[in-house]
């Protein structure tokens, strides 16, 4: 189907702060979805709560701006119930790695065919700039007046260590590159994770903004990185917070079956021995 | 970071050069449109209005280039895509702020025109085709004219207030 980016743009105007990095991420998502070529009614976009979690409303796909930190459980349930849909989950670093942090390993190990896009701005922007799980050590915010004493979560290491089959990192400072990696993530048959360093213009630091990204970012491809090597991916992931390395960190060359495929396989294997619906209750009745 | 990908300027043809120039104007138009919408949404009407004027300018330039392309190459397929360019003449996404002044909006446009001029000048070093060279020299010269236009508007614009808006305005609200 021949689709263009504008086919995925809804009539709702984003209310993010002018200059927010999420505008660029949204453009990359529109372009990636156009490249995939599936119509909006075959796509579902699930999010949690936060600035970036508003993103489903700005697309023409089906969307659910759900509960804080719960984008992944809802997305997994939807994918199991409606396997034919292309399911995307999105949210911020707080939504994904603090409030919803417990869901990430289970989404990874279940390996449903989902794409999870995290807009990582290292702050809780919507609630006016508190420390988030990825805030750097020493960051001064309204909840860390003298500087953060907490080591940040490293989202890349987190998902790589749990065994995710597709892990990438991008920035809206390179929308063409970000588009390519979101497209590759969607095409990956399994759980795919894209961390986007998406600057908060209101509470973010100068060195976290798009201009700084343009000046400092390095493409993994230019560093001779082999995206089929998890060991190399883990090594490069350690640079999170110190260097902005963009591209596909890891892509499983031989993707294992997804949870959905395993469930359907099990159902098919057991179907012949299953009782007809009318006789199911008989199994529980003592004669 | 290079604003183009997968473009070999040493072998660039006139058709591809015109298509590239059209895409650059389109990208700038789309970006000014996005930025104007953002500013309208956040009660920054003067800057939004100026960015809409810039949209009209970019569209005028695009249309002129498209006419020229049609006259020379009629319906020949376009070999360039938007994925090959990024932020050539379009202002960066993080150039805008809620409550930015008209002067700040003009300065944003000036930086964008300077960026475009630098792009064409840098590309000229690699271009070998004489007709493409002439086109890029012309485009670079036009960017200088646009800068002059913006500078004239800057000279007329009221000075920024002594206190920056972020000193007294609330941050934009997300919900």
pLDDT at A1: 72
Does A267 reside within a domain? no
Q: What is the ipTM of this complex?
A: 0.87
Does B1 reside within a domain? no
At B50 the three-state DSSP class reads helix
Within a 10 A sphere around the Cβ of A110, how many other Cβ atoms? 19
Does A272 reside within a domain? no
Does B151 reside within a domain? yes
The CA–CA distances, whole Å, from A193 to A45, A95, A185, A198, A252 equal 14, 14, 7, 15, 12
Question: CB distance A176–B100 less than 8 Å?
Answer: no
Q: Say whether pLDDT at B174 is over 60.
A: no
Which residues in chain A are contacts of B88 at CB distance < 8 A?
Answer: none
Question: CB distance A176–B84 less than 8 Å?
Answer: yes
Interface test with B, best of A17, A18, A25, A51 (most B CBs within 10 A): A18
For residue A111, the Cα-to-chain-centroid distance in whole angstroms is 13
Instruction: Report, as ranges of residue numbers, the positions in chain A whose pLDDT lies below 50.
Output: none
Question: CB distance B39–A18 less than 8 Å?
Answer: yes
Which residues in chain A are contacts of B42 at CB distance < 8 A?
Answer: 15, 17-18
pLDDT at B175: 47
Question: CB distance A17–B171 less than 8 Å?
Answer: yes
Average pLDDT over residues B16-41: 96
Does B132 reside within a domain? yes
Does B88 reside within a domain? no
Does B102 reside within a domain? yes
Using the Cα atoms of residue B7, residue B9, residue B14 and residue B17 in order, give the sign of their dihedral: positive
pLDDT at B23: 96
Q: Say whether pLDDT at B173 is over 80.
A: no
Domain holding B55, by residue range, is: 12-78+97-158
Question: Does residue B39 sit at the A interface (CB-CB below 8 Å)?
Answer: yes
Tell me how far apart the alpha carbons of residues B2 and A241 are, in angstroms, rounded to a whole number.
23
Question: Does residue A13 sit at the B interface (CB-CB below 8 Å)?
Answer: yes
Tell me how far apart the alpha carbons of residues B162 and A93 are, in angstroms, rounded to a whole number.
37
Contact assessment for residue A198 and residue A27, using Cβ atoms and an 8 Å cutoff: no
CATH number of residue B144's parent domain: 1.20.1260.10
Does A194 reside within a domain? yes
Tell me how far apart the alpha carbons of residues A224 and A226 are, in angstroms, rounded to a whole number.
6
Question: What pLDDT, in 10s, does the model give residues A242-286?
Answer: 999 999 999 999 999 999 999 999 999 999 988 888 888 888 887
Provide the number of structural domains found in chain B.
1
pLDDT at B109: 97
Domain holding A19, by residue range, is: 5-257
The dihedral over CA atoms of A261, A267, A272, A276, expressed in degrees to the nearest 10, equals -150
Does A139 reside within a domain? yes
CATH number of residue A63's parent domain: 3.40.50.970
Does B86 reside within a domain? no
Average pLDDT over residues B139-151: 96
Does A269 reside within a domain? no
The two tokens of residue B51 are 């960015």
Contact assessment for residue A43 and residue A33, using Cβ atoms and an 8 Å cutoff: yes
Residue numbers of B between 89 and 108 with CB closer than 8 Å to A: 92-98, 100
Provide the number of structural domains found in chain A.
1
Does B37 reside within a domain? yes
Does A111 reside within a domain? yes
Does A276 reside within a domain? no
pLDDT at B161: 83
Does A262 reside within a domain? no
Which residues in chain B are contacts of A20 at CB distance < 8 A?
Answer: 93
Does B165 reside within a domain? no
Contact assessment for residue A42 and residue A85, using Cβ atoms and an 8 Å cutoff: yes
Question: Does residue A21 sit at the B interface (CB-CB below 8 Å)?
Answer: yes
Which residues in chain A are contacts of B173 at CB distance < 8 A?
Answer: 15
pLDDT at B169: 65
pTM: 0.92
Question: Does residue B145 sit at the A interface (CB-CB below 8 Å)?
Answer: no
pLDDT at B168: 66
């Amino acid at each position: 189907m021949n689709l263009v980016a504008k086919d995925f743009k809804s009539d709702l105007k984003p209310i993010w702060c002018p200059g927010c990095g999420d505008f660029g991420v949204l453009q990359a998502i529109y372009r990636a979805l156009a490249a995939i070529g599936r119509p909006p009614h075959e796509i579902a976009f699930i999010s949690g709560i936060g600035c970036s979690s508003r993103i489903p409303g700005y697309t023409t796909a089906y969307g659910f701006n759900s509960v804080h930190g719960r984008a992944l459980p809802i997305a997994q349930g939807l994918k199991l119930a409606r396997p034919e849909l292309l399911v995307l989950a999105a949210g911020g670093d707080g939504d994904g790695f603090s409030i919803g942090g417990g869901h990430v390993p289970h989404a990874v190990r279940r390996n449903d065919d989902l794409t999870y896009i995290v807009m990582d701005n290292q702050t809780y922007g919507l609630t006016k700039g508190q420390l988030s799980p990825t805030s750097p050590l020493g960051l001064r915010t309204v909840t860390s007046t003298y500087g953060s004493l907490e080591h940040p979560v490293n989202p890349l290491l987190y998902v790589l260590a749990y065994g995710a089959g597709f892990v990438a990192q991008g920035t809206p400072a390179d929308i063409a590159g970000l588009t390519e990696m979101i497209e590759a993530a969607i095409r990956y048959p399994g759980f795919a994770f894209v961390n986007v360093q998406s600057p908060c213009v209101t509470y973010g630091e100068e060195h976290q903004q798009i201009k700084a990204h343009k000046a400092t970012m390095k493409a993994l491809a230019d560093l001779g990185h082999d995206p089929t090597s998890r060991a190399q991916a883990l090594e490069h992931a350690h640079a999170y917070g110190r260097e902005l390395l963009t591209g596909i960190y890891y892509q499983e060359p031989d993707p294992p079956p997804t949870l959905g495929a395993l469930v359907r396989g099990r159902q098919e294997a057991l179907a012949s021995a299953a009782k007809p619906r009318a006789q199911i209750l008989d199994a529980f009745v003592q004669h | 970071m290079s604003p183009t990908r997968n473009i070999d300027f040493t072998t660039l043809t006139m058709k591809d050069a015109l298509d590239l120039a059209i895409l650059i104007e389109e990208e700038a138009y789309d970006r000014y449109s996005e930025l104007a919408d953002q500013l309208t949404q956040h009660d920054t009407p003067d800057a939004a209005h100026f960015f809409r004027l810039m949209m009209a300018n970019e569209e005028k330039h695009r249309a002129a280039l498209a006419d020229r392309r049609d006259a020379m190459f009629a319906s020949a397929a376009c070999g360039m895509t938007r994925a090959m360019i990024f932020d050539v003449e379009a202002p960066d996404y993080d150039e805008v702020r809620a409550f930015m002044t008209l002067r700040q909006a003009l300065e944003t446009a000036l930086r964008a025109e300077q960026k475009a001029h630098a792009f064409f000048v840098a590309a000229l070093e690699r271009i070998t085709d004489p007709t493409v060279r002439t086109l890029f020299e012309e485009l670079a010269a036009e960017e200088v004219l646009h800068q002059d236009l913006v500078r004239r508007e800057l000279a007329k614009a009221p000075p920024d207030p002594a206190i920056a808006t972020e000193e007294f305005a609330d941050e934009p609200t997300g919900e």
